[in-house]
Amino acid sequence: MKPPHSLRKKPGALPPELASGLQLYKMGLLQEAERLFQTFLRNRPTHADALHLCGLTVHAQGRHQEAAHLIERAIARDASRATFHLNLALCFAALGQQAALHHLQVAVKIQPDLVDAWFNLGVLHSQKQDHVAAAANYRKVLALAPDHLTALNNLGELLARQGQHDEAARLLSHALILSPDLTDAQYNL
């Protein structure tokens, strides 16, 4: 699964304390970011963005159950945010819980162009050996982001294993044009 994403394209839309915490998160200063988010939550314990961002930070530190709880609380406040569902799915996937699939499906229903959710659906279906669904999800990723290296590689590998060598070679060759050092694509080709 891909690492979680924060969802905020406009950090200015966040309260300043959360924007500062998000910057710390992006810099990899996870404990510092968590402290800022927790301080904010002491005063505003039901703030959806703060709950979500704190959950992301906790998840990045490997505390997946705690992260899931925080993001579930964020969803309880605002269930319309696709990225909340995406990141909750990533927590559940890290915990090996089936609920990951449900939340990825909710994420793409809310935001059909959410590439990371489609990609992670492909990964989950691949892990479950549901190759038809995995291929469909990787194709959706490539329809939205034609140069998505990992989707090109994963779909190419999947198709090669199914004997669809021409299409697999086309996808893997495209991945290598984009990134000549992509060893997975070299191996799969």
* pLDDT (tens digit per residue) in 45-68: 999 999 999 999 999 999 999 999
Distance CA 128, CA 185 (A): 22
Distance CA 157, CA 43 (A): 50
Average pLDDT over the chain reads: 91
Q: Which residue in the block uniquely carries the two structure tokens 């406009």?
A: 10
Q: pLDDT grade, residue 39 (50/70/90)? A: very high
Q: Give this prediction's pTM.
A: 0.88
Distance CA 166, CA 35 (A): 52
What are the tens digits of pLDDT across the range 119-151?
A: 999 999 999 999 999 999 999 999 999 999 999
Residues 6+ apart with CB under 8 A from 146: none
